[in-house]
Amino acid sequence: MRYLFLIQTALDGEPYRKSEDNIDEWIAEVDARGREADGDRLRPIEEAKTVRVRHGRLDVVDGPFTEAKEWVAGYDVIDCDSMEDAIDLASRHPMARFGRIEVRELWPLR
């Protein structure tokens, strides 16, 4: 099963400290567990565009659509055996300390 980790910032989390960001160790653990993973950071929200089509009209707006103090800062897609396995991996991600991680199982179209 494949799971999406939406890596979110959070103003109520610990302040981010680069010296405590062990993302390389986390990636090594994912690899050591034999989990196939893909992920990356996202560019700043100031560079985002929100696209909608309503009544045949294209609407492009600068920035994210939702008004929130938190935003999606990155993502990971990881093969896991179960939601519990995915939660365990997410709990070890450095952004679980500095932000929050939404874990969702992918629901393939086919």
Identify the three-state secondary structure at position 73: strand
What was the pLDDT predicted at 19?
67
Most confident option among 15-19, 36-40, 64-68, 84-88: 84-88
What was the pLDDT predicted at 66?
63
Q: What's the mean pLDDT in 59-68?
A: 76
CA distance 44 to 14: 20
Q: What is the pTM of this model?
A: 0.81
What was the pLDDT predicted at 67?
64
H helical segments located in 1-110:
23-32, 83-92, 95-98
What was the pLDDT predicted at 84?
96
pLDDT at 92 over 80: yes
The CATH code of the domain at 2-105 is 3.30.70.1060
At 105, list the tokens. Answer: 């199982």
Question: pLDDT per residue over 1-56, tens digit each?
Answer: 999 999 998 766 666 676 677 888 999 999 999 988 899 988 888 898 989 999 99
CA distance 110 to 104: 18
More confident residue, 19 or 102: 102
